[in-house]
Amino acid sequence: MSDMDLSELRQKVGELDKQILQLVSQRLETTKAIGEIKQKKGLPIRDFTVEVQVLKRARERARQVGLDERVAEEISELLMRAAVQTQAELPPVVHASPRKWIHVVGGHGRMGTWLTRFFESQGHKVSITDPHPGPFSEIALSLEEAARSADVIVLATTLSATPTILEELLGLVEGRKQQPVIFDIASLKAELVKPLREATSQGARVTSIHPMFAPGTVLLSGRAVLVCDCGNREATDLARSLFADTALGLYEVALEEHDRLMTVVLGMSHLINLIFGRAVSRSSFPFELLGKVASTTFAKQIKTAAEVAEENPFLYHEIQYFNTYTEDMLNDVNESLAEFCEAAKAEDGTRFHQLMRETADYLRLS
């Protein structure tokens, strides 16, 4: 290929990039217009079922044109994020007849804020309780006011505060002819098992869920919500229905098994990434250099470690400290590290190879 051919091809790529950006701009204008129409008709701006349809369509079209489906999904997700951001700039949608009155305790916290916006986008009437100022101060009510009338009350409070607030709330709603559905979103459930079970036995409509994603999440495709039934199926089904028709996966987990599962998917993953980041920081190499010469594996791992290190340290400590299964998890981590350390120092690689094969077999990579 001559230099002229190369130059012409690069020019063509530049023209294609320009056309792509013009199409993206047109797409955003179209999604903004869709949002404005929905607003006029009193429909929610966010329609989470569209995520599923858009991603499915992207995969199908990728196959038709011979493009990697993962590339098509990534592009579609970027486009949807941009569309959501554009529509978020529109004035709030006011609905004529909200489906439920949902009250979020801790509505100015990070996850409380996410839930408040989510429920508003789904057409519900939303109010909050929070002692701290924030974006929803105009819809703030006392817990007593919410306990008298709300259809659903969500506890988006800290791990340490949730049991006390639950107890207070159960006392406030006692005697109501139509009991509200109450559920927490706590990352750990051990301290809630007994009061939730007792409340159910006394007729309270309680259940428990756990959103398995960060409060900054915009797109819900591939995200999960764990649902822990406490003995009142009606309450659990209603809580599930609030997240239905979205791209979220809803997975039921036994209430008593929840925390043991969390030691792996939360506690262990947090800890290992923090250890990795800490160990890298002990090296004598400038981080800027490590980024330039990073292998594929290092680049992926350091990105995740950096994201974990930027999360809420108070919550991440609580996830370790308050989980009654943390000691078992730490033993598993220490024993696994010791196995690989010993195998790495052995001249004969047999044991190291065996450990890799066993790990791959479990992870279904081999």
Is residue 55 within 8 A of residue 76, CB to CB? The reply is yes
Span 337-350, average pLDDT: 96
Question: Would you state the structure tokens that stand for residue 55, as one six-digit string?
Answer: 């991603």
Number of H helices, E strands in the chain: 15, 7
272 vs 43 pLDDT, higher one: 272
Range of the domain at 312: 263-363
- In angstroms, the CA 109 to CA 185 distance is 12
123 vs 231 pLDDT, higher one: 231
Listed as own residue / partner, the contacts of 117-120 with beta carbons closer than 8 Å and 24 or more positions apart are 118/46, 119/242, 120/92, 120/93
Question: Is the same domain home to 114 and 222?
Answer: yes
Local structure of 312: helix, strand or coil: coil
On average, the pLDDT of the chain sits at: 89
Is residue 239 within 8 A of residue 183, CB to CB? The reply is yes
7 vs 342 pLDDT, higher one: 342
At 54 the pLDDT is: 86
At 181 the pLDDT is: 97
Question: Is the same domain home to 67 and 178?
Answer: no
81 assigned to some structural domain: yes
For residue 128, the cross-strand partners are 104, 140
Is residue 79 within 8 A of residue 69, CB to CB? The reply is no
Question: Is the same domain home to 112 and 239?
Answer: yes
At 90 the pLDDT is: 60
Question: Is the same domain home to 82 and 134?
Answer: no
Buried-state track 293-326, b at ≥16 Cβ within 10 A, e below 16: eeeeeeeebbeebeebbeeeeebbebbbebbebb
Please report, rounded to a whole number, the percentage of residues in the chain having pLDDT higher than 70. Answer: 90
Question: Is the same domain home to 158 and 247?
Answer: yes
pLDDT at 352 over 60: yes
At 95 the pLDDT is: 47
Confidence of residue 4 (pLDDT cuts 50, 70, 90): low
Strands 224-228 and 206-211: antiparallel
Strands 181-184 and 152-155: parallel
Neighbours of 132 (CB within 10 A): 9
At 83 the pLDDT is: 82
At 48 the pLDDT is: 61
Element containing residue 207 per DSSP (H, E):
strand 206-211
Question: Would you state the structure tokens that stand for residue 2, as one six-digit string?
Answer: 């001559």
Local structure of 90: helix, strand or coil: coil
Determine the length of the chain: 366
Question: Is the same domain home to 272 and 348?
Answer: yes
Q: List pLDDT tens digits, range 126-177.
A: 999 999 999 999 999 999 999 999 999 999 999 999 999 999 999 999 988 8
Confidence of residue 310 (pLDDT cuts 50, 70, 90): very high
Question: Is the same domain home to 108 and 247?
Answer: yes
For the domain that residue 33 is a member of, what is the CATH number?
Answer: 1.20.59.10
Q: List pLDDT tens digits, range 229-285.
A: 999 999 999 999 998 877 688 999 999 999 999 999 999 999 999 999 999 999 989
196 vs 70 pLDDT, higher one: 196
pTM of the model: 0.71
- In angstroms, the CA 191 to CA 324 distance is 10
In the listed set 232, 253, 274, which residue is the last one of a domain according to the structure? 253
Crossing angle of helices 69-88 and 49-65, rounded to 10°: 140
Q: List pLDDT tens digits, range 46-67.
A: 566 677 788 889 999 999 999 9
Is residue 263 within 8 A of residue 329, CB to CB? The reply is yes
Span 80-101, average pLDDT: 67
Question: Would you state the structure tokens that stand for residue 271, as one six-digit string?
Answer: 């800890």
pLDDT at 114 over 90: yes
55 vs 210 pLDDT, higher one: 210
- In angstroms, the CA 322 to CA 267 distance is 11
Question: Is the same domain home to 195 and 243?
Answer: yes
94 assigned to some structural domain: no
295 assigned to some structural domain: yes
At 36 the pLDDT is: 79
211 assigned to some structural domain: yes
In the listed set 190, 223, 253, which residue is the last one of a domain according to the structure? 253
Question: Is the same domain home to 204 and 277?
Answer: no
Q: If you ran DSSP here, which 8-state letter would residue 255 be given? A: G
Question: Is the same domain home to 152 and 271?
Answer: no
At 185 the pLDDT is: 97
240 assigned to some structural domain: yes
At 123 the pLDDT is: 85
Question: Is the same domain home to 49 and 71?
Answer: yes
Q: List pLDDT tens digits, range 280-304.
A: 999 989 999 998 999 989 998 999 9
Question: 226 burial class (0-12, 13-18, 19+ CB within 10 angstroms)?
Answer: buried
Please state the domain count of the chain: 3
For residue 250, the cross-strand partners are 225
Question: Is the same domain home to 230 and 346?
Answer: no
